[in-house]
Each structure stands twice: as C-alpha cells, then as structure tokens.
Chains A and B, each alone.
Chain A
Amino acid sequence: MERVAIIGASMTKFGQREEWVQELLAEAGLECLEDAGVDAETVKHLYVSNMASGEFEGQTGVMNGLAHDIGAVPAYTQRIDQTSSSGGAGIYAAWQSVASGASEMTLLVGGEKMTHRTTGEATDVIASLTHPVEYKTGVTLPSFAGMTARHYLERFDAPRESLAKVASKNHKNGVDNPHAQFQKEVDVDTVLESPIVADPLRLYDFCPITDGSAALMLCPESVAQEYTDEYVVISGIDGATDTHVVHEREDPTVMGGVVESGEGAYEMSGRDPDDIDVAELHDMFTILEFLQMEGLGFAEQGEAWELVEEGYTERDTGELPVNTSGGLKSKGHPLGASGVAQGVEIYEQLMGEAGDRQVDAEVGLCCNVGGFGNCVITTIMEAAR
C-alpha cells in the first residue's frame, strides 16, 4: 500500500467570526488549494468534518455547498460527523480514500459556526450526544470533566494547580499562533481564581466556544512528489470508541478509545511513545490532557500531572512539547474543525513552518476526542523530504 501524503494545509482565524459555516469552509478550502498548488478540478474526493451545522445554523448539505463554492464539482463529497472528533474522523476518512486507491487527490475541510448561540444553547447541542439517562440529568461535557477531574485529583493525590498549569502552558503557546482565538497569557493564579464552571474546574480549565475552519490536502506519496519535494506522510492512524454511557466505564480515569486508537496508530507506524517529538492533544478540558498523555503511553496512569509539573510538556524546554498551537484551550474549539486544525499544527511543525512556535520535530502525533472519550482518532505523521 502506498503511503498517504499531506501536501497542503490551512486554517482560518479561530474566534468569533461574522461569516457563517459555508463561508468559513470555503475560506479554509480555497487557502488549502493554494497552499498545495492544486487546482480544484483535480480534487477527486472532498470531505467536510462538521458536527452540527443543522443544529447550530439550520444549514445542512454543507459538503455539497463547499464543492460548488470552491469549484470542485463533480468531486465525490461526504460530511463526516463524529461529534468533537469529526476532524480526526475526517483525516481517517481522507486517508482511507487515498490509501484505498479510490482518490488521488482528497481535500478535507473541517468547520463549525457556534458563537451566535448562547453558551447554554451551544452546551445543549453538544450534550445532545449523551444517552437519555444522562441527558435528563442535565449533564454537560464540562460536568463530566468536573467529576473526572475530582476523581483524578483525589485518587492520585495530584495538586489542583497541576491542571491550572496545563491551561497556563497552552495559553502561553497560543500567544504565538496568529490563528488562535486567544493570544493571551493566563497565569496559574488567574486560572485558580476564575469562576467555577464544574467544580473543581473553573472557567480557564475549559476551551471557548468558537467559529472557524481548517483544511488538509491528501494524496498518494507518488503524486505528492509531482507537486513538492517536502511533504508529510501519515504513518499511522486508527480510531476507536468507548462506551456511550460514560459512567459504565470500569475506570473513570481511562479513556479506552484513546488507548485503543493510540495502540493502533503506533502499530501501523512502527513507532512508540518515545519516538514522538511533538503532540497535539484534545484539551477541551485541562483534565483531558492528563488522560490522553497516560492513554497514549507518554506517562504512567496517575503520573501525567507530575510530568506537567516538571515542565516535560513545555514547548521550548520540554522533552515532549504538547499543544504547541495553544491547543483547543487557547486556539479555540470549532467542533468539526478542531481535529483538522490539530493536523494542520503537526503538519506545520514537521514542515518547519510553525514560525515562533517551531520545535525540533520529525514525528508528530495528534489525538482528537469526541464526546467525553466516546470516539477517538489518533494520527501519527512524519516529515518526508
């Protein structure tokens, strides 16, 4: 099987945008075509990662709309919804379309328009992924995070400050990301003094509500070499699920989908956690960075907080920089775009195009989490020159 390459990437400014979802998708899609040097008519498959444009905006059929808007008709097109991991699922679908031989040029665009909704409405749209016995309690994804964080802190005797340090680190990284929603440093005291949202987690433990879009261009490696001498390959990718009902999991601090998808991606790539130079983890809530570090083998269970305390995940001085983009925490979380934007960051890091965020990296990993670990995609990328 020929390796699948990425030859172009783009993302819009994340934040509160005036544009609606169709315009956001077109903005990232056109920019990705230009970055890859690919004509729209060359695109054979077009995937759109989007969780809920129908629920948020009353706009469905966004994949067909995008194909028309960017001049990619008659490309085959499909919308990918896997809740918050729609972006990662889009990378997997795009990879499959190329790896199978069905497409020689696949454009993936992820996007969401959310900020026109109130926080309560947006939270409810996201919480609609829960089982009826969960939904009727009024649980939200932040509530799951609060319960999990309390359990983690109590069980592993971790200090509350360690979670605040995740937020502070990722905000610091986001300062250097011109596409981030918040280019603003937030210190640990500010996190610890911010309003409680889901006890013990506070406002700055959570990602914001965001509009935005991101895109990647995928093709077989032999085709990539017709366009460029420098590109990135997807060396490993896998997806997995965990229980729909969160409390049915045997261990509240283990996300089975992270473990399973990580193992699959490592096996496909022939890599292990020690080989990863940079990682984008789904820090929708600070506690998720701990759970993914442990699930992906970067730390033993209950010990990720110690690595964060030691500075292991710092961008400029750590052994494994985590969320150099600023993560969902500062960059923002436009649901369907987030997993694609993780891929954009790893692509730029491996291509040496990350500007002030640049780290020394040949192998990168991104982990995109849907629901509260309900669906997960892990992708490993490598620089190819």
Chain B
Amino acid sequence: MTMEATRYDDGTISYPGHPRSRNGAEPVETIDLSEYTAEVVTWTTSTATPPGVREPNHLAIVEFDVGEVAETSEGDAVDDGEDVETSVRALVQLTDDEAETGDEVEPVYTEELREPGAGIREPDSQDWDGYRFEPV
C-alpha cells in the first residue's frame, strides 16, 4: 500500500494525482507520501458520521514536505520555474484526538478507513484502505 502523490511537468504536486496538473501539465513521477511525516495544518473531530464511519472520526489536513527537486520528462531538473513545489497537502484520518495544529504526524496502515458498502458509494468503485496518522 502506498499513498501516491503526483509531480507534474510544471513542477506542481498534487495528492491525489490527476491526468493533468492545475496548469495543464502532464504527470512525470509519483511520490509515496507514506514514507514521509507531515505537519497538521488543521483538524476536527466529527461526531455526526455517515454509515460505516467510526464515531467519533478524527480528521486533519496535513502537509508533507517532499523536499527534493524533481526532473521533467526530458530529464531536466525542475528547479528554475516559478511554480516548483516542495510540499503537498492531504486530508487524512488521525488515530485519535491527541494531535494539534502544527504537530508532526506519521502514517499507520489501516485495512479499512471506513466500511465498504455501508454508505452510498459503490464498494468496487474505489479502494478503502489507507493510512491513519498519529503524533511522532
């Protein structure tokens, strides 16, 4: 299991990946965010959760610093553009309510983030495993 972000030819990064970047550039590589720690940007604890979701559900937007300079599809370093990004954000579950804004968190693999088929989404239409994050 990985948590793949995508870097594009224009130096931007997104999680999840898309067929094109927000500027229309093509993907050039993936970055496995599960190999990184992240910083909590903001968080909430949801007490009114949909079918198949744990209650309470601890959620956060976290930011990964993926540092290293990437290469374009032509093999040139993407380091001279105006839009070269070294960080990317993700919405994640937290293991509990111990994390605060600014805390460093790390991933812990979970087979089911929510119960497939309990909600309205067709179970086979997407994957359901992933990572919860806990304070380092």
A in complex with B: yes
| Chain A residues close to B by CB (< 8 Å) | 55, 119-121, 123-125, 127-128, 131-140, 142-143, 146-148, 150-151, 154, 195-201, 243, 245-248, 252
Q: B126, A252: Cβ atoms under 8 Å?
A: no
Q: Which of B22, B41, B50 counts the most chain A CB atoms within 10 A?
A: B50
Q: A247, B61: Cβ atoms under 8 Å?
A: yes
- B:83-136 near A, CB below 8 Å: 89-93, 101, 113-114, 119-121, 125-128, 130
A212–B120 CA distance with the chains assembled, in angstroms? 23
B13 to chain A, nearest CB (A): 10
Q: List 19 A-B contacts (CB under 8 A).
A: A55-B120, A120-B48, A120-B51, A132-B126, A133-B15, A135-B119, A137-B59, A138-B49, A138-B53, A138-B59, A140-B50, A142-B46, A147-B43, A148-B42, A150-B43, A195-B47, A197-B46, A198-B48, A246-B91
Q: A151, B41: Cβ atoms under 8 Å?
A: yes
B14 at the interface (CB under 8 A from A): yes
Of all chain B residues, the one with the shortest Cβ separation from A202 is B47
Q: A150, B42: Cβ atoms under 8 Å?
A: yes
Q: B49, A135: Cβ atoms under 8 Å?
A: no
A243–B45 CA distance with the chains assembled, in angstroms? 23
Chain A neighbourhood of B119, CB < 8 A: 124, 127-128, 135
B60 to chain A, nearest CB (A): 7
Chain B neighbourhood of A146, CB < 8 A: 44-46
B47 to chain A, nearest CB (A): 6
Q: Which of A131, A134, A143 counts the most chain B CB atoms within 10 A?
A: A143
Chain B neighbourhood of A199, CB < 8 A: 44-46
Q: A133, B91: Cβ atoms under 8 Å?
A: yes
A128-B120, A245-B16 known; A147 vs B61 contact (CB < 8 Å):
yes
A385 to chain B, nearest CB (A): 46
Q: Closest 10 interchain pairs by CB?
A: A146-B44, A138-B53, A124-B50, A132-B126, A151-B42, A143-B46, A199-B45, A147-B42, A247-B89, A124-B119
